[in-house]
Structures are given as C-alpha cells and as structure tokens.
A and B are shown apart, each in its own frame.
Chain A
Amino acid sequence: MMSPFLFWIFAILMLVFGAAVIINRNPVASALSLVVSFFGLAALFLSLDAYFIGVIQVLVYAGAIMVLFLFIIMLLDLRAEELRKINWIASAGGIAVALALMFQIFSVVEKFPAAKQSFPPLAKPAPDDVRQIGLLLFNNYTLPFQIIGIVILVATVGVIILSRRETR
C-alpha cells in the first residue's frame, strides 16, 4: 500500500488534470492534460497492487490513444476554439447535473460501511499479477479474449470504411 500522502498527490494530480481536459480551449492542451491525468491514474493502480494494469494503462493510453488524438487534431488542423458565446445556462445546467451525480455517489459511498475498513492484507507482496492474469485470461476468459478480437476487427474495418475518401 502507498502512503496516504502519495495517494493524495496522485489523486489530486489526476483530478486536476482531468478537469483541465475539459476546461482547456486548445485541444492539444486538453490531450496533454489527459496524458498527465492518466499517469496519475496509473500510479493509483500501482498503489492498489495492480502493476500489470498500471503498465497497460500507460502503454495504451499514453502510447496509443493519445497519439491517435493528437494525430487527428493535427490532421484536422484544429486550433484553439475561437471565443464563442458561451451558453452559460446550458453550461451551468450541465455542471449542476454532474455535481448532483457526484454528490449522489458520495452519499451512497458514505452509506457503505464495509468501505471504511482498511484493505485486507495480501499474502505475498511480490507482484506476480502478470502470471495470474495471464492464466485467467487463457482459461476462464478465453471466450471474451477471442471476442475482443472481433471488437478490434469491427473497429479496424469501420475506421477504414469511414475515413476513406469516397471516389465518385
């Protein structure tokens, strides 16, 4: 387990840069904030002894998804949004709904007593989670693992179909 100090550092890092994603006017800045936010998230994963997931998170998000975002932003040549008239009522409404959702989640988490106990100890701290996950993946999760192939097939074919220029 990580010390509370580090937890708060990374949690706040993640949340602040998460907020920066949606506040920034410039899409490139948003994308970079997203990367930082996900690094914070990956650190939180490590704090939960989920090393494999933490690594994957960095690899996939920072490595792949972020590049994709940046690539599209560059491709479409998007600059910072010109200052449009912001629809304050709609924005306030959206933020209010999101806040209500957040407080709803807070209040029900409060009422979940089991969550207030500390995490149960692990038998051995040495991370062999890659092996464990690998075993599960090829035993219990064979089927979804195959199906994920179909998801990627759909995405690949779909992206090619959609982004190819139509020859008239």
Chain B
Amino acid sequence: MIAWTIYLTFAGAVIVLLLPRAFARWIALLAATAGFVVTLVTFFRPDVDLGHFTTVVRVPWIPALGMNYHLALDGISLTLILVTGLAAISAILFSWDVSERAKEFFFWLLLVVGGSYGVFLSADLFLLFLFYELVIVPKYFLIAIFGSTNKEYGAMKLTLYSFFGGALVFLGVIAAYVAGGSFDINQLSQFQFPSQLQWWAFPVLFLGFAVLAGIWPLHTWAPTGHVAAPTAGSMLLAGIVMKLGAYAALRVAMNLFPEGFRMWRTTFAVLAVIGIVYAAAVALRQRDLKFVIGYSSVSHMGFVLLGLTTANVFGVSGAVLQMFSHGVIGALLFAVAGTMIYRRTHTRDLDALAAMNLRRALPFAAFTFVVASAASMGIPGFSGFAAEITILIGVWKAYPAAVWVVGAGMVLVAAFTLRALKRSFFDDGLGSAALSAAAPGLSAGKISESSRDGRAALAPITVPEKVGAALLMFATVAVGFYPKILLDRIQPAVEAMRFLR
C-alpha cells in the first residue's frame, strides 16, 4: 500500500503536464495529499512490521543482471516518508502563487518528491540508486528556471555536487554488487564483504551520500543552492533532499559495510563536529536571511551525521528523528524567509528587514518564525530538542569529548537564530540609520524605497500559506511533546541493523 506514495506522485506529475495550467497546483496538491494520507494510514496501522525492512513489492525487473523492483518498509523509512509528505504538501501550498510556467514547476516538484519516496522505499540497491539520481535533474530545473539570486550558478553547483556524490555512490554500488553478487539490500546486509573492500568502499559510498547531506567540507552547495532556489525548492532541499543522503548513508553504506564503518566512523564524526561548529559560526556572520538558514541546515545535518557515527541505538535513532525534525523546521524556516518575507519585501537582507518593522506588518509571519526559531534552537517542547538530546546521549556514550564541542556549537546556533529573529522581525527600526551609513548606494536606496511603500502595501499572509505553516508547526510541536510516537517506530528498525550487533 505504501508503494502508492510513489505511483500517486508520479501519476500526479504526468497529469500536471497533460491538463491545462489552471489545474496544475490543484493536481499537485491532490497528489501530495493522497501520498501523505497513504503514509498516515500505514503509520497508524498496528499490523505493519516496522522492526524489519519488510518487503512490500517485489517484481523481477532486469533478471539478466539480477535487478528487482523491490520496495520495503521499516520504521526509519516510514519516518522519512512522513516528513517527505509534510514537506511536499507545504511546499506546494507555499507555491500557490506560481503562475509562470506553472505546469513545469509542479512537474519538476512532484518528480523530486516521487523520487525521494522511491529512495526511502527501495530495497534493491540499483533501484535505490536510480531514484537517487532521478532527483538530481528536477532540482536543477526547479532552481535554474524558477529560482532567484544567482540561480544558474547555484543550480549548477548543486547539481554538480549531487552528481559528484552520485559518481562516488555509483562506484560503491558496483563494488557491493560485484562482490556481493546481488542487489538485494537485505541479502547484502547479511553478506560478509572482504575487509579490504570495506576499507575503501565504505568511505566512497558514505561520502558520496553524505555530499547530499551537506557534510563538511563538501557542504558548500547547500547555502548557495538554498539561496538560489525558489521557496518550494529550498523547502524540498532542506526538508527532503538532504535527508536522502543521510538516509542512504545509513541504509546502504553503514548497513552493508559495518566493518568499514567501524574503521572510518571516527573520521566522519570529526567531520560532522567541524561541520556543526563551522556552519553555525558562518551563519552568525551572514546578512542574507536565506544564507543564515542555509548554513543552519548544514549545522543541523551535522547533528544527523554525528548521530549516525556514534553507532549506538540512541545516536542513530536520534539522527533519524533529527532528519524528521530538521525536515519540518528547515522547510518552515525557508517558507517564512522565501515566501512570507522575500515575496513581499523583495529583500532578504537582515539590515534592510530590520528597518521594516515586519512584526507589525506580518504578525502571522512573525509568529511562525518565532516557533520555527525556537524549534531550531532546540528549545524543549519542539521536535528539535527531542532529536538533539537523543543524539547527544548517543554521542556521550561514543565520543564524550565531542559533546563539549557540540555544546558550544549549539550555543552558536542559538546565537545566530536569535540574531536573525531579532533583526528580521523584532528590530524597532533603529538599525536603519546605521544601515544607510554602513551600506550606502544602491542597496540602501532600494531598501528604503521598498520599505517605505512596502509597509503600507505588504500583502497579508494568504490562506494556503497559513495552512502550510500550520501543518509544519503542528508537526514540530506534536513530535516535540510526544517524540515516542516516532521513536517507538524508529528504534526497533535501528536495532535490527547489523552494525549494532
């Protein structure tokens, strides 16, 4: 049944192309909602075995080379499918006003979503890789056609990074296939690969996937990509695409090559810690709101990678929970920055925003941003807290020293988040004088102009935006208060993985 998430989304993509433009957004919303409903139904069905990667569909596909169309489900993939559905629906709601080339827009968007469902559900290595690569090109078009600041550069950079990671993954997949003689992930995860192969294949595979998860120092696509993308694009990038990398690293790299994982995990843990602190520090110095959020994404994904490298139940479960949590929070933050603020004020410059007194003009946006920031900082009661505390418990067991460094990183996260929050919504206009002194010329002129007539004419937040934001806020609060609902499903699946045994 869960397989229908893929079919419905792709069917939606095709129908979007076939029907007239006026229907595009409705079809897209319908497809995304249908997928989400399917996920919810599966989520609450008691008879689904989420402790193991249980086969859903299995059809011979390319028997000559032993490839199957093989989908399977466990708690980890279900969690990620859930966040995919959430992010997809809200991304469509936040693109409700896309009018130029709307059919194409929703087509590419649904392809990204459908491909992501495919990655999360694939139990065949080749199929997983196929879906994984399938997501690359739609992202490019989504950004290059519909994006904003420096869109072609950002799109190309993101695509090349993804494809570079893809090439590494390609090598790893071939190695696993040739050595293991199968594409079935469950079978391969029982196979004893020679140590020498694991020694080089694990880092190749892990790094290849982690590029998409924004691992330091291969993270630089993320901020530029996020900034260049249209709102829905950034929401999908932060909400789903970065999770693809982390998920596949867990499902494939760590699961198939446990020995290689043990050899290399400290190295990757160090990279993850550097990523957390470095990205947070850089975020503190950004003036563009989207860059702040983009770097915060890298920082949060650093937690995911760090959680994965702990190799214990807490760390890995926390990492999966963090994937969910960041998917929701990241999407929310980009929604606020991209649609609620930028679409209306035409600037994302923190100093310019400070002059606009947006708290009064856009109260709903302010409220949403407060919630999102709180969740992002890891304040108890939101999903971010639940996830990060679980990860930290795991890290404490594996790398006690790292906890202190990461703790400092969390302070930085809080610092830049508060700074962004204050500058964008809660600055009472005193900054504008300082700004025009600091940044004279074009930008200042433009800013003051737009803020002058902007204050009067800022369009109110529309209903689709409110619905989308509410959906995401509900998710983060719900999981924040009752993380057990996810953890109960994640933990058994994590415990079933080989590297823990």
Q: In the complex, is A directly touching B at CB under 8 Å?
A: no
B positions within 8 Å CB-CB of A: none
A positions within 8 Å CB-CB of B: none
